[in-house]
Amino acid sequence: MLTPITPSAAAWDAFVRAHPQAHVLQLAAWAEHKTRFGWAYERVALIDANGIIRAGAQVLIRPLPGRLFTLAYIPHGGYVTDDSQWPALIDAVARAVRKHRAVFLKWEPGLYDHAAPPDPAALGFRPSAQTVQPPRTVVLDLTADDDAILARMNQGTRRKIRQSHKAGVRTFEAAARDVPRFCDLMTATGTRNDFGVHSAAYYQLAFDLFAPRDAALILAEHDGDLLAGVMVFAVDGASGGPAWYLYGASSDAKRDLMASYAVQWAAIQWAKARGCATYDLWGVPDADEEALEAQFQTRGDGLWGVYGFKRGWGGRVVRTLGAWDKPLIPPLYWAFQQALRLRQRSG
Q: Give the model confidence (pLDDT) of 222-261 as tens digits.
A: 999 999 999 999 999 888 999 999 999 999 999 999 999 9
Segment 68-95 mean pLDDT: 97
Confidence bin at 196 (pLDDT 50/70/90): confident
282: left (phi > 0), else alpha (psi -120 to 50), else beta? Answer: left
Segment 77-90 mean pLDDT: 97
**Domain 3-129+323-346: homologous superfamily in CATH:** Gcn5-related N-acetyltransferase (GNAT) (3.40.630.30)
Query: Which pLDDT score is estimated for 347?
Result: 60
Query: Which pLDDT score is estimated for 58?
Result: 98
Q: Where in the chain is the domain with CATH 3.40.630.30?
A: 3-129+323-346, 136-319
Tell me the per-residue pLDDT of 285-320, one tens digit each, with 9 for 90 and over: 999 999 999 999 999 888 888 999 999 999 999 999
Query: Which pLDDT score is estimated for 345?
Result: 79
Confidence bin at 341 (pLDDT 50/70/90): confident
Confidence bin at 194 (pLDDT 50/70/90): low
Examine the pLDDT at 346 and tell me if it is beyond 90: no
Instruction: Let me know: does 319 contact 133? Beta carbons within 8 Å.
Output: no
Confidence bin at 279 (pLDDT 50/70/90): very high
Confidence bin at 54 (pLDDT 50/70/90): very high
Query: Which pLDDT score is estimated for 186?
Result: 93
Please state which CATH number belongs to domain 136-319: 3.40.630.30
Weakest mean pLDDT among 24-38, 144-158, 302-316 = 302-316
Mean pLDDT in the chain?
95
φ/ψ of 258, rounded to 5, equals: 60, 40
Helices (H), the chain: 9-18, 28-35, 86-98, 146-152, 155-166, 179-193, 200-210, 259-273, 289-295, 304-311, 330-346
